[in-house]
A and B are shown apart, each in its own frame.
Chain A
Amino acid sequence: MNWHSAQEFFQMGGYGFYVWGSYLMAAVCIAIEVVALRRRSRTLNVRSGLTAEPRSPHR
């Protein structure tokens, strides 16, 4: 283990902005792609009748 305290870890030796800015953007990009992929697959399944459509109270 390289760190002595949580604060030291988050500061990254004064480079916290650059290090966390990199890790955060990578995480955001991956999250966006995964959400978009799930949405794309689900829309298709609903449209083709493989997955039940959300039940409407009016029917």
Chain B
Amino acid sequence: MNIWSLSSPQTFYPLAGKLVPWFFALAIVLGAIGLYIGLLAAPTDFQQGDAYRIIFIHVPAAWMSMFIYIVMAFWCAVGLIFNTRLSFMMALALAPTGAMFTFVALWTGSLWGKPTWGTWWVWDARLTSELILLFLYIGFMSLHAAIDDMRRADRTAALLALVGAVNVPIIYFSVQWWNTLHQGSSVSLSRSPSMATTMLIGMLIMSLAAWMYAIAASLMRVRAIIDERDRTAMPLAD
């Protein structure tokens, strides 16, 4: 099979349909293992007590919120450069899932901040830039929904997504660039992680589960989008 043929919505549609249940299954299995480690097996933190267990939701959600935005901006760029319809559909399919993870990261961060920092919210660099990320996702979706002509909607929203992409490195490096209440990264490529092995493994498995879930949800959504745009013109066989 020619790999480029996958850039056609008609070819991609049945393939995505076959993949969705597998990614959902992987997400459930990994999520169950991750929850077992995070909630039952991992020891209580000597500094933060059991409040730290929020990490198993917070960090995967925060990682996904940034990563999904990068992927979304990538598809927007591909769409703008090569004028491929499926790329814009992929970007549009990723946005709600990215927004969901951003909201979860903010919510769990707030619930973690209260017992550890003594406040639900501060306007510091990390928290503010993550809030801006949520507004970027919402802005992307609303702008797309506000323009009737589909091609113009795709291109205009893509431009917004690309401009907003500068926010992602700001979020990521905010804990180094500014003084912030938020702690630095617990995991980095350049040094060994500053957390217990069980905790680290639990967090990584939960992150993998979040990945699988995001892939499943966005593939399912891109199928719905292909349907919505193409069904009227040409019925698809599944």
* Pairwise interchain contact A19-B220, C-beta atoms closer than 8 A: no
**B157 CB within 8 Å of chain A:** no
**CB-CB < 8 A to A26: which residues of B?**
57, 61, 104, 108
Interface extent on A, as a size class? 20 to 34
Chain B interface mostly helix, strand, loop or mixed? helix
Chain B residues 49 to 78 lying within 8 A of chain A, measured CB to CB, are 49-51, 53-54, 57-58, 61
Please tell me which one of the listed residues B53, B221, B228 contacts residue A37 in the complex, with CB atoms under 8 A apart.
B221
**B208 CB within 8 Å of chain A:** no
* Pairwise interchain contact A40-B224, C-beta atoms closer than 8 A: yes
* Pairwise interchain contact A41-B104, C-beta atoms closer than 8 A: no
**A7 CB within 8 Å of chain B:** no
**A5 CB within 8 Å of chain B:** no
* Pairwise interchain contact A19-B40, C-beta atoms closer than 8 A: no
Residues of A at the B interface (CB closer than 8 Å) are 1-3, 9, 12-15, 17-19, 21-23, 25-26, 29-30, 33-34, 37, 40-41, 44-45, 47-48, 50
